[in-house]
Amino acid sequence: MAKLYLVPTPIGNLEDITLRAIKILKEVDLILAEDTRTSGKLLKHFEITTHMHSHHMHNEHKTVNNIVQRLKNGESIALISDAGTPAISDPGFLLTRACIENGIEIECLPGATAFVPALVNSGLPNDKFVFEGFLPVKKGRQTRLTFLAEETRTIIFYESPHKLLKTLTHFGEYFGENRLVSVSRELTKLYEETIRGTISEVINHFTNKPPKGEFVIVVSGKK
């Protein structure tokens, strides 16, 4: 039966893939991958020979209609991103919405995503939280930070290493340097690390130890 499968892939440690994910990726007619070179290494490791097509943020608007047609014709297709769960700060939303509009069945598998372990091990309240993903680089950044300064729930961000200190500095300016923060990097990988403290303390840490890897920032809400 034609179906779109949204399949999470490991964010670092390959052992975090599920048996069900491997089974689905072997059985579908096609795998849509954000970067076929990156995903090719994963598929090779698990001896998955299913054909791949590229599906990323730069071409997803152009490829959605073709993918929907293939699904209507009876193919089963899996969507994966380079790491983690599709559509979480990665392509996936447009295709999912198009499938819903066309009455195509969708199945999302549970699995790896970076912000959940970062939130849970932060030590900050996690009964209520807001996931912001990546902040706007320029336009809208100030407006967003001004709005979030009043947020009482725990806030989660993604950030790259070369922008980490700039973003933390902005947090200090808008949220206050004494706001608590937890910064996790390289989750599930060999050099996984979490730094906790006030914003000023964490800025000091990464000023003395240049940031490397991919980061999840968890900020306490306003009290």
Quick: pLDDT tens for 28-52.
999 999 999 999 999 999 999 999 9
- Output the average pLDDT for the chain: 95
- Residue type at position 196: R
For residue 82, what are the CA distances in angstroms to 7, 58, 182, 183, 200?
11, 14, 24, 22, 33
Positive or negative, the CA dihedral 210, 216, 217, 218 is negative
For residue 51, what are the CA distances in angstroms to 26, 48, 77, 178, 184?
10, 9, 10, 51, 34
- Percent of the chain whose pLDDT exceeds 70: 100
In which residue ranges of the chain is pLDDT below 50? none
Burial class, 66, CB count within 10 angstroms (exposed 0-12 / middle 13-18 / buried 19+): exposed
pLDDT value for 126:
96
pLDDT value for 1:
64
Distance from C-alpha of 20 to C-alpha of 175, rounded to nearest angstrom:
42
Q: How far is CA 75 from the centre of its chain?
A: 27
